[in-house]
Amino acid sequence: MIHTRISGTGSFLPGDAVSNEALIAARGLDSSDEWIVERTGIRSRHLAAPGVTSSDLAFEASRRALQAAGRTAADVDLIIVATSTPDYVFPSAAALLQSKLGNTNGAPAFDVQAVCSGFVYALTIAEKFIRSGSHKCVLVVGAEVFSRILDWKDRGTCVLFGDGAGAVVLEASDRPGLLSSAFHADGSHHGILSVPGQICGGVVTGDPFLRMDGQAVFKFAVKVLADVANEVLDAAGMTAAQVDWLIPHQANVRILQATAKKLHISPQKCMVTVDRHGNTSAASIPLALDEAVRGGRIQRGQHLLLEGVGGGFTWGATLLKF
């Protein structure tokens, strides 16, 4: 049987950390550090400089993941980028990343748009390609520049998000790695988190900024994250007590805490980076994963539960043995 394992991780955050105080001063926000920390747990985030794109961030994260895996770009036979903020309408961020990496072997490259669940979606898709036998080495990336779609006059949303990228190299293996996965969507909830605008005839129509009903998102997120976590645990014949690390999408510290509590997973087993990264959407899970791997907290042989929920609404989880 063909299994799938993560052989390397990498991440990249643009520029210096921007504290709540610095953001408030720079944007003239009617807010405070205390207000932001109390409601979200966020103390700082990274913001890409003008001209820096999602594929730029993806390139840096991918380069580090390939190095960690002992692979080169030539070894990659599939590239999947999860992003809601691609460089262009087309070509895809994945195609642009392929060019920057110098991958010239004709590997397919495409984007996945599932917002904050995007990395779990991309990981699940990649695993199916590998297990089918059609591909052996897949680069899976989450990369976002959410700062480009924020309304800096809306203090309820603009303080929440940051920019960044995370990547993993996924390879065929004779040892179990990804144990189970599940992903879902329910488009009837699209109105509580969206960017309801588009380009038509060269001009913006609708609203080009991120809009969110925070309370509705919180209630929905906690429920589906617990449900999908239990789904993948059941599929693998495991319990939450056997999970060494929970790595959830880093949306809000309250959502992280509520989800861990509902799963009866100790807060000490829940990876938290939202305080320093903000919500980096599809990049948040691989960013947290790479930080924990490089920091020595995650060790080979440990069981990790990755899960995310995002606009759409979409949600999913992956249980793996690292």
Q: How far apart are CA 53 and CA 93, in angstroms?
A: 9
Candidates 46, 116, 270, 277; catalytic one: 116
Candidates 20, 103, 252, 279; catalytic one: 279
Q: For the chain, what's the residue count?
A: 322
Q: Is-catalytic flag, 116?
A: yes
- Name the residue among 287, 303, 321 with its Cα closest to residue 245: 303
CA-CA-CA-CA dihedral for 12, 14, 19, 20, to nearest 10: -100
Alpha-carbon separation of residue 4 from 129, 243, 280, 284 (angstroms): 10, 19, 26, 22
Q: How far apart are CA 263 and CA 118, in angstroms?
A: 22
Q: Give the residues across from 308 on adjacent strands.
A: 316
Q: Is-catalytic flag, 105?
A: no
- C-alpha angle with apex 80: 78 to 82, nearest 5 degrees? 175
Q: Is-catalytic flag, 158?
A: no
Candidates 46, 135, 189, 249; catalytic one: 249
Q: Which residues are catalytic?
A: 116, 249, 279
